[in-house]
Amino acid sequence: MAKGAVWVSRGGKPLHRLRRVKAAVRVGDRLELNYDAALLALVPPEASLLRDAGRWSAWVKPAGLLSQGSPWGDHASLLRQVELRLGRPAFLVHRLDREVAGVILVAHDPGAAAALSALFREGRILKRYRAEVAGDVEAAHGREGIVDAPLDGKPARTLWTILSVDPLRRTTLLEVTIETGRQHQIRRHLAGIGHPVLGDPRYGEGNRAEGLRLTAVELAFSDPFGAGTVDLRAGVTDETPG
């Protein structure tokens, strides 16, 4: 129950998580108990607080931590960590894949969630990543480029610039920005031009490595609550891979 795997519905209302027993079960109540031994046994890595702005907060999510939970439990998710550590409700504004580390925003009330979600939806937030990919991108495509290719029937646009090339390992470190937010967009676009992200278990060939080499290094936007321009960055150096 404490790990978010028990759900209840009363009076025909939608299911919601049951954290602790507050009342006796009544005739007509609907209970769902989900059990996944592997998930419940997980000890998730801890996210780091980057900024607490009251109505929203920014965190550095480590690789291996889910952005949000599932019906089978949420103790191994960023949202649950935020709720417990700040003692406030947490609403997901955007997602990072489980394998991806980096900066992520969390809202703390429905109004903040709506306002921040609008920034992403309307393209008013800078999203910058670093990715270490297979192959010599410069030799094949030059120092910078744009991948403008629809994904799942929707427009998708990824911009990349070379930071460094390792000729011995035949890998390239890229700075990447995205103007849209399709599922696995960076991973799919880079694999599509023949340079998959190292360590990606799903897309590309010849890119085996320990861990997905992709990091969300920066989010920048105008705070909808009047705090001016916000620039949130994960700690990176020129040598930091994805």
pLDDT above 50: residue 242:
no
- Lowest mean pLDDT segment, chosen from 14-28, 31-45, 93-107, 119-133: 14-28
- Lowest mean pLDDT segment, chosen from 12-16, 110-114, 133-137: 12-16
CATH class for the domain made up of 125-216: alpha beta
Cα gap 156→229, rounded to integer Å: 26
CATH class for the domain made up of 29-122: alpha beta
| Higher pLDDT among residues 67 and 187, named by residue | 187
Q: What is the DSSP string of 167-235?
A: TTTTEEEEEEEESS--TTHHHHHHHHTT-PBTT-SSS-SS---SS--EEEEEEEEE-TTS--EEEEE--
| pLDDT value of position 26 | 72
The mean pLDDT of 43-57, rounded to a whole number, is 92
Q: Which of 29, 74, 97, 109 is catalytic?
A: 97
What rounded mean pLDDT belongs to the chain? Answer: 87
Tell which phi-psi region holds residue 200, choosing left (phi > 0), alpha (psi between -120 and 50) or beta.
Answer: beta
Burial environment of residue 210 by CB neighbours within 10 A (0 to 12, 13 to 18, 19 or more)? exposed
Write the single-letter amino acid at 8. V
pTM of the predicted model, to two decimals?
Answer: 0.81
| pLDDT value of position 163 | 98
Residue among 25, 32, 28, 29 at smallest CA distance from 6: 32
Listed in sequence order, the residues at least 6 apart from 125 whose beta carbon sits closer than 8 Å to its beta carbon are 119, 219, 220, 221
- Quick check: do 29-122 and 125-216 share a fold? yes
The mean pLDDT of 115-138, rounded to a whole number, is 96
| pLDDT value of position 177 | 98
Please say whether the beta carbons of 147 and 190 come within 8 A.
Answer: yes
Helix intervals (H) in the chain: 37-40, 78-86, 110-121, 137-141, 185-192
Q: How many CB atoms lie within 10 A of CB 163?
A: 16
| Higher pLDDT among residues 67 and 131, named by residue | 131
| pLDDT value of position 118 | 96
Confidence of residue 208 (pLDDT cuts 50, 70, 90): confident
- Lowest mean pLDDT segment, chosen from 29-38, 57-66, 193-202: 29-38
Residue pLDDT, tens place only, 164-185: 999 999 999 999 999 999 999 9
- Residue 36 annotated to the active site: no
Write out the E strands in 26-141. Answer: 30-33, 48-52, 56-61, 91-92, 101-107, 125-134
- Lowest mean pLDDT segment, chosen from 12-16, 67-71, 103-107, 217-221: 67-71
| pLDDT value of position 146 | 98
Question: For the chain, which residues make up each domain, given as ranges?
Answer: 29-122, 125-216
Confidence of residue 7 (pLDDT cuts 50, 70, 90): low
pLDDT above 90: residue 52:
yes
pLDDT above 60: residue 212:
yes
